[in-house]
């Protein structure tokens, strides 16, 4: 079975049937359609919602740790060197700490470089909190807007029908506020805090297309899809390709071979 670690953020090779899985559990209509379009008959594609987000739709017990009476921004950039905004936005975020009465929460990607970590840790003071927690749910719930670039966390945040700001997003959409000149950071954030009704409606429409489930029961649907496949068997699926080279590479990376 294949589940996913994020939404389609515009990066390459999101839709790929690799010939390893009997079942793909997808988050919403756009991902479901993407995999149905390329399904070669070797697997089933079932839309279940994303299990990881089940807690997002119930208030987290730790939300108070991150809430503020100031307008609050979550900065969560991607780690990809070609797509990350960490270096370009750093001096402007640093300047805004002195000129705007906003609260910042910085959550870097686990693959962020040590240099990036040190850069943003150095900014941690009254108006900026640098966090390393793996549980982003209370942070998503506590913050007012998100600032990112090309990262699937933008979608996770927007599913609460909140405004998302992206810097040089690889595939900008009309539901997000995208900007390409780092000098426009302040004016873009000011605009985002105004919560334009037209933008919020675009956000809602997008959320319905990527993850229409707000009941927190995606995990139940995933288990149901697995049980259905177990009961029905896999005789209706076509034979998978041998994929000998890919299998060898995986075994080599795990140091596990059939003869060991």
pLDDT of 191: 96
Tell me, yes or no, whether 1 and 99 share the same domain.
no
Tell me, yes or no, whether 169 and 89 share the same domain.
yes
Please state the pTM of the whole predicted model: 0.80
The closest of 7, 9, 12, 41 to 26, measured between CA atoms, is 7
pLDDT exceeds 90 at position 230? yes
The three-state secondary structure class of 25 is strand
pLDDT of 55: 95
Higher pLDDT, 154 or 256: 154
Q: Which domain holds residue 19?
A: 1-50+214-260
For residue 125, the 8-state DSSP code is: B
- pLDDT tens, 140-153? 999 999 999 999 89
Tell me, yes or no, whether 237 and 151 share the same domain.
no
Tell me, yes or no, whether 252 and 165 share the same domain.
no
Tell me, yes or no, whether 113 and 190 share the same domain.
yes
Tell me, yes or no, whether 39 and 124 share the same domain.
no
The pLDDT confidence band at residue 1, using thresholds 50, 70 and 90, is confident
- pLDDT tens, 59-108? 999 999 999 999 999 999 999 999 999 999 999 999 999 999 999 999 99
Tell me, yes or no, whether 218 and 197 share the same domain.
no
Tell me, yes or no, whether 206 and 108 share the same domain.
yes
For residue 60, being part of any structural domain is answered with no
The closest of 55, 36, 52, 54 to 44, measured between CA atoms, is 36
Asked whether 77 and 150 are in contact (CB, 8 A), the reply is no
Tell me, yes or no, whether 127 and 186 share the same domain.
yes
| Number of structural domains in the chain | 2
Asked whether 77 and 109 are in contact (CB, 8 A), the reply is yes
With a CB cutoff of 8 Å and minimum separation 6, the contacts of 164 are 145, 146, 148, 154, 155, 157, 158, 175, 176, 177, 203
With a CB cutoff of 8 Å and minimum separation 6, the contacts of 72 are 66, 102, 103, 104, 105, 142, 143, 144, 145
Helix axes 86-99, 185-193, angle to 10 degrees: 70
Tell me, yes or no, whether 88 and 205 share the same domain.
yes
pLDDT of 14: 66
For residue 65, being part of any structural domain is answered with no
Tell me, yes or no, whether 135 and 172 share the same domain.
yes
- pLDDT tens, 100-134? 999 999 999 999 999 999 999 999 999 999 999 88
Tell me, yes or no, whether 132 and 221 share the same domain.
no
The CATH number covering residue 98 comes to: 3.40.50.2000
pLDDT exceeds 90 at position 259? no
Asked whether 145 and 165 are in contact (CB, 8 A), the reply is yes
- pLDDT tens, 10-68? 666 667 888 889 999 999 999 999 899 999 999 999 999 999 999 999 999 999 999 99
CA distance 232 to 226: 10
């Amino acid at each position: 079975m294949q589940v996913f670690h994020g939404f389609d953020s515009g990066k390459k090779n999101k839709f790929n049937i690799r010939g390893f899985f009997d079942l793909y559990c997808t988050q919403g209509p756009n991902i479901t359609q993407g995999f149905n379009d390329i399904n070669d008959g070797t697997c089933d594609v079932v839309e279940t919602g994303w299990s990881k987000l089940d807690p997002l739709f119930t208030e987290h017990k730790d939300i108070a740790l991150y809430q503020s009476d100031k307008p609050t921004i979550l900065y969560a950039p991607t780690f990809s060197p070609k797509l990350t905004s960490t270096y370009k936005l750093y001096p402007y975020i640093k300047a805004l700490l002195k000129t705007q009465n906003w609260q910042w929460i910085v959550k870097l990607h686990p693959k962020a470089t040590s240099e990036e970590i040190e850069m943003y840790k150095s900014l941690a003071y009254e108006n900026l909190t640098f966090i390393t927690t793996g549980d982003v749910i209370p942070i998503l719930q506590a913050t007012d807007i998100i600032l990112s670039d090309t990262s699937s966390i933008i979608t996770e945040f927007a599913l609460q029908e909140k405004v998302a700001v992206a810097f040089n997003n690889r595939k900008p959409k009309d539901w997000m506020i995208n900007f390409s000149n780092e000098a426009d950071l302040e004016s873009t954030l000011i605009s985002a805090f105004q919560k334009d009704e037209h933008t919020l409606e675009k956000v809602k429409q997008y959320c319905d297309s990527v993850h229409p489930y707000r009941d927190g029961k995606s995990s139940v649907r995933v288990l149901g899809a697995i049980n259905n496949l177990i009961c029905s068997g896999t005789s209706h699926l076509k034979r998978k390709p041998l994929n000998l080279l890919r299998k060898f590479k995986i075994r080599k990376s795990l140091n596990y071979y059939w003869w060991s």
